[in-house]
């Protein structure tokens, strides 16, 4: 088989999120939270800014199997999932097709234990472990889904979050940014992986030099 682990993991995340989004009224079993996780969940207090909807809501879209498009017009405005604004380790790389190599998200430099923030208002669609790494997916009102990994102390599926609310903390689990620590942040609209940086409403970011 030509399947590569990163592709399989990405597809599993997307498929799980789609399944969860198809069951809006269901409550999934709560995942166990480490001792420090309760403080993250307790810290979720909506603010006036958090309740304010984005200026440019996402278009209404439906759920489907994961696919790829060479060009997608981005209109949603998200917030950075880390604060202060993080440096970018690696950018999104659009694969040519479903099984091609690519980078289905962006890597943002972070530190272990740093709070991970929801990029927009929504509901936690998935919270669990995939390929040994903690993953959390947030389903937003207009159909956009954002994913975050590796994350510990995750909120449980079904939890409502506002833009900028903590949803977990950066895990010490080794990721693909070694020796650095980073957050892998992805965005999916229905059947299309999208570049999260294009949904931030900011100019083109500057990459860190390698080495």
Q: How many domains does the chain have?
A: 1
Q: Which of 6-20, 97-111, 186-200 holds the top average pLDDT?
A: 186-200
Distance CA 6, CA 12 (A): 10
Distance CA 194, CA 146 (A): 10
Q: Answer yes or no: is pLDDT of 66 > 60.
A: no
For residue range 153-184, what is the model confidence (pLDDT) as tens digits? 999 999 999 999 999 999 998 777 888 999 99
- The reply to whether 210 falls in a domain is no
Q: Answer yes or no: is pLDDT of 44 > 60.
A: no
Distance CA 32, CA 51 (A): 28
- The reply to whether 209 falls in a domain is no
Least confident range from 90-94, 105-109, 140-144: namely 90-94
DSSP, residue by residue, 17-77: HHHHHT-TT--PPPPP--TTHHHHHHT----HHHHSPPSSPPPP------B--S-------
**pTM of the complete model beyond 0.75:** no
- The reply to whether 207 falls in a domain is no
For residue range 120-154, what is the model confidence (pLDDT) as tens digits? 999 999 999 999 999 999 999 788 999 999 999 99
* Tokens linked to 102: 């690519």
**DSSP three-state, residue 91:** coil
Beta-sheet strands, E only, within the chain: 88-90, 106-109, 115-117, 122-130, 133-140, 144-149, 151-152, 160-161, 166-170, 182-189, 192-194
Distance CA 20, CA 18 (A): 5
- The reply to whether 205 falls in a domain is no
Give pLDDT, residue 173: 87
Q: Is residue 115 within 8 Å of 79, Cβ to Cβ?
A: no
- The reply to whether 117 falls in a domain is yes
Rounded average pLDDT over 5-14:
46
> Any idea what the CATH number is for the domain that residue 130 is in?
2.70.70.10
Band of the pLDDT at 110, cuts 50, 70, 90?
very high
Distance CA 170, CA 179 (A): 15
Give me the phi and psi of 146, to 5 degrees please.
-120, 140
Give pLDDT, residue 124: 98
Rounded average pLDDT over 204-208:
51
Count CB neighbours of 64 within 10 A. Answer: 11
**Residue 34 CA to chain centroid, in angstroms?**
20
> What is the share, in percent, of the chain residues with pLDDT greater than 70?
55
- The reply to whether 179 falls in a domain is yes
- The reply to whether 64 falls in a domain is yes
Distance CA 148, CA 151 (A): 7
Question: 133: domain range?
Answer: 5-23+32-199
Q: Answer yes or no: is pLDDT of 30 > 70.
A: no
- The reply to whether 128 falls in a domain is yes
């Amino acid at each position: 088989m030509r399947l590569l682990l990163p592709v399989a993991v990405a597809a599993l995340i997307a498929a799980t999120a789609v399944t969860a989004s198809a069951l809006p009224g269901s409550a999934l079993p709560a995942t166990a939270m480490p001792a420090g996780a309760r403080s993250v969940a307790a810290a979720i207090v909506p603010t006036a800014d958090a309740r304010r909807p984005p200026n440019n809501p996402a278009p209404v879209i439906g759920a489907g199997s994961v696919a790829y498009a060479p060009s997608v017009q981005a209109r949603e405005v998200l917030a950075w999932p880390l604060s202060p604004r993080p440096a970018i380790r690696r950018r999104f790389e659009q694969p040519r097709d479903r099984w091609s190599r690519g980078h289905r998200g962006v890597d943002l430099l972070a530190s272990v234990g740093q709070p991970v923030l929801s990029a927009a208002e929504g509901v936690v669609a998935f919270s669990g472990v995939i390929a040994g790494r903690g993953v959390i997916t947030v389903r937003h009102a207009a159909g956009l889904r954002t994913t975050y990994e590796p994350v510990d102390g995750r909120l449980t599926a079904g939890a409502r979050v506002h833009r900028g609310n903590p949803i977990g903390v950066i895990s010490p689990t080794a990721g693909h940014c070694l020796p650095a620590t980073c957050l892998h942040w992805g965005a999916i609209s229905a059947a299309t992986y999208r570049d999260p940086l294009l949904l931030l409403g900011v100019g083109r970011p500057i990459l860190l030099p390698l080495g």
